[in-house]
Amino acid sequence: MSLSVNEPVTKIDEHWKGLLECAAVEVFSMMAGLELETFAEPPTDVRGDQTAMVGLAGALCGMITVRCSSKVATKLAAALVGGDASANPSMMSDAMGELANMVAGNFKSKVTNLADRCMLSVPTVISGEDYTLQMMPPTEGFNMVLSLGGEAVWFSLVIHGA
């Protein structure tokens, strides 16, 4: 794949939230055998001490993140790679990064004309809750939360505007 430096930037679309939700549900179900559901009354504060980020470059520049508690991340790791993830913290980070990468890839494949015009970075995983993500303006995006057995899993898309 070859991207031009002058590649036009894709603007965020109101339907992308539904596409990201669909991508997350599909990936968690197919790859980890876990079902994500909507909350009847979703929490409003984005919280969780495990965050995986995947950068987007090309026609869409920005980042997709997946954030949850260590308890949920351990459950995800056990479902994805098997074994006792609590005994090996690197399993949790690897699983979080891989799930974020698969969600980002699935999302970009759902956006018309984006799959071949957008590259993904290697995932980055942050452990800890007290941090601030700052991106150069202008940016736009959204957060959404899904339930994994009653526990919150946050997904976000932040993009740089044109």
What is residue 86's predicted lDDT score, i.e. its pLDDT?
Answer: 67
User: Coil, strand, or helix at residue 25?
Assistant: helix
Looking only at the bridges linking them, the beta strands covering 151-160 and 139-148 are antiparallel
Residues with Cβ within 8 Å of 131's Cβ and at least 6 positions away in sequence, in order, are 51
User: Quick check: 138 pLDDT over 70?
Assistant: no
Q: In this model, does residue 50 exceed pLDDT 90?
A: yes
154 within domain boundaries? yes
Domain annotation covers residue 39: yes
Q: Is the pLDDT reported for residue 43 higher than 60?
A: yes
Q: Which domain holds residue 58?
A: 16-160
Number of neighbours of residue 124 by Cβ within 10 angstroms? 16
Over residues 12-16, mean pLDDT = 87
Provide mean pLDDT across the span 92-109: 95
The pair phi, psi for residue 142, each rounded to 5°, is -155, 160
Please tell me the pTM assigned to this model.
0.89
How many domains are there within the chain?
1
Residue 4 placed within a domain: no
Local confidence band at 88 (pLDDT 50, 70, 90 cut-offs): confident
Question: Cα 32 to chain center, whole Å?
Answer: 15
Tell me the per-residue pLDDT of 109-121, one tens digit each, with 9 for 90 and over. 999 878 788 999 9
Is residue 8 in some structural domain? no
CATH number at residue 99: 3.40.1550.10
In this predicted structure, what is the pLDDT of residue 82?
Answer: 78
Residue 93 belongs to a domain: yes
